[in-house]
A and B are shown apart, each in its own frame.
Chain A
Amino acid sequence: MTRSKPLPAASLHVVLALLDGELHGYALMRRVEQLSDGAVRMGPGTLYGTLNRLVDTGLIEETTDRSPRGDNERRRYYELTPNGRLVAVDELTRLRALVQRTAGHLPGGAPA
């Protein structure tokens, strides 16, 4: 069975953050920060560069514009495509296997 290559760190955090449903840029940034316990803080250029790449590769898609902010600004929402969801689950499986194999090195961890 062939496996897809691991996603780069920023893309990985974005697809994992979108597993619970669609989000707009700022909410996505906050979600990534929350999921990583504050360790990953994406700047605007990093976030939108990553979103651009993920849209291009078909892992996420833009959804309908909504809730206009009253000053002609728009808020774009993003969600995982079916393929993106599969890749995200594949990444989670890969991470779980990695943790299981190396858990013995954790303080007080049982040998893997």
Chain B
Amino acid sequence: MTTPPGTLRIYQQLVRLYPRRFREEYGPDLVGLVADQLRDEPTWRVLARSAVDLALTLPARHLEAHMDRAPTPVVPTLFGALALSAVVVGATVGHPIVLLACIAGAVAAGWLGLLAAHRSKPLTQPRPATAHWWKLLAAGAGLLAALVAATTAIGELPDGGWLVAMVTGLTALVLLGAGIVLGIVHLAGRARRGAAAAWSR
């Protein structure tokens, strides 16, 4: 079957309707693919399929081009800076209510930062839940460090300050404890899998 150049030229023109980046990256491949199809299949069938494909994919590619944002570390960094600022402000002001609000803000911003960092990564192999032990450990240590920094900066705690400090300290200890337990479980599991792999070899 010969390839009608007219058909291919029409498709080549229609490919120009795709967004520029997509067209520049895949334009020749799209036309090449249709040329391959035209060699093996009746022209009417290739044309019909390509027309439907264009109608369906043109809006989708334009929407993607509009929405597409390459994953960057900007958002996680912003949340990290926000968490750090909250800790600094809390430690500087020293009022128990402000301190509590700042600690809550720092925890929320830190969590959102971790979430954003996770989402900006490419798809990875599924990991067991215990693999996140170090995050709990880091959160506990960070909270404890923030508490020590705040109490050192304030000096003598005002009324109600002890309650805030105790709740924060307990939260930090719970996070540290959970991190340690999960870490032990995770490392033991990894050692067990390593031994099983060595045994199977």
CA A45 to CA B53, docked complex, whole Å: 6
| A-side interface residues, number (CB < 8 Å) | 31
A43 within 8 A of B: yes
- Could you give, for residues 71-112 of chain A, a 1 whenever the CB lies within 8 Å of some chain B CB and a 0 otherwise? 001111000000100110010000000000000000000000
The residues of B that contact A41 with a CB separation of less than 8 Å are 49
| Interface segment, one of B23-31, B73-81, B159-167 | B23-31
A64 within 8 A of B: no
A44-B34, A45-B58 are contacts. A90–B126 as well, Cβ < 8 Å? yes
Q: List residues 13-48 of chain A with CB under 8 A from any CB of chain B.
A: 25-26, 29, 41-48
B127 within 8 A of A: yes
The residues of A that contact B49 with a CB separation of less than 8 Å are 41, 43
Quote the shortest CB–CB distance from B12 to chain A (angstroms). Answer: 12
**A49 CB contact (under 8 Å) in B32, B52, B60, B129:** B60
Quote the shortest CB–CB distance from B95 to chain A (angstroms). Answer: 41
| B-side interface residues, number (CB < 8 Å) | 31
**A87 CB contact (under 8 Å) in B28, B61, B123:** B123
Inter-chain contact B123/A52, CB cutoff 8 Å: no
Quote the shortest CB–CB distance from B70 to chain A (angstroms). Answer: 8
Inter-chain contact A59/B123, CB cutoff 8 Å: yes
Inter-chain contact B56/A73, CB cutoff 8 Å: no
B33 within 8 A of A: yes
**B33 CB contact (under 8 Å) in A1, A25, A74, A90:** A25
CA A52 to CA B125, docked complex, whole Å: 20
A46-B57, A58-B123 are contacts. A75–B32 as well, Cβ < 8 Å? yes
Q: List residues 110-150 of chain B with CB under 8 A from any CB of chain A.
A: 122-129
Quote the shortest CB–CB distance from A27 to chain B (angstroms). Answer: 9
The residues of A that contact B25 with a CB separation of less than 8 Å are 52
Inter-chain contact A49/B126, CB cutoff 8 Å: no
A73-B28, A75-B32 are contacts. A44–B22 as well, Cβ < 8 Å? no
Inter-chain contact A44/B50, CB cutoff 8 Å: yes
Quote the shortest CB–CB distance from B17 to chain A (angstroms). Answer: 10
The residue on B at minimum CB distance from A7 is B123
Interface residue ranges, A against B (CB under 8 Å): 1-4, 25-26, 29, 41-49, 51-52, 56-59, 69, 73-76, 83, 86-87, 90
Known contacts A25-B33, A73-B28, A75-B32; 13 further A-B pairs (Cβ under 8 A): A1-B128, A2-B128, A43-B53, A43-B54, A44-B33, A45-B57, A46-B53, A49-B61, A49-B64, A52-B25, A74-B28, A74-B32, A86-B125
